[in-house]
Structure 1
């Protein structure tokens, strides 16, 4: 039952974030096409490409475990850094749920882009 609630929460966040992302991309493409006298389809294409690149980058960087290793470099020089690093490691991992959702939305935008433009 816990997995069902977690999956429901994930899809809720996913759909809300996807709706906001599509609204922002379409509004940006519409405003750019209107103010710069460019065709709307060309503006949509570039807005999708930029959105896909940004969201996939956010998703990729979120998966990388930078936060677990940020204290390792200075720990030999300063014992206070080592102490803070141990507190950080013992407190558990940071929540990366929203970054991963944004990466998945980047993949969804790529699929939408392929459906529209290919």
Structure 2
């Protein structure tokens, strides 16, 4: 093979590696470290979405996910939005929500029924 053909093959291989890495990065779920959002938005505020709150409650206290009335009460009385905001500033939000706890109370309810 000529020198030019070898250069083209190497060039194509490099681009293939870069493109495959980009595709993998875009296909990862939002909870992975590749998609960590900066804690502050353009206005200097820390954005807290409903999804962030739901992920926090699922990770920290899954017992309060259902019914919806319990969820809303838990979020309001335990200042979950403030806790999420503080965790984002500290950089611990993604670590906490990455490993949700299991709902241990479900086992107790099943044991009482059976």
On whether the aligned pair clears a TM of 0.5, the verdict is no
Larger RCO of the pair (alpha carbons < 8 Å, separation 6+): 1
TM-score band w.r.t. shorter chain: under 0.3
TM-score (norm 1): 0.27
In terms of Rg, which structure is larger? 2
Give the structure with the higher percent helix.
Answer: 1
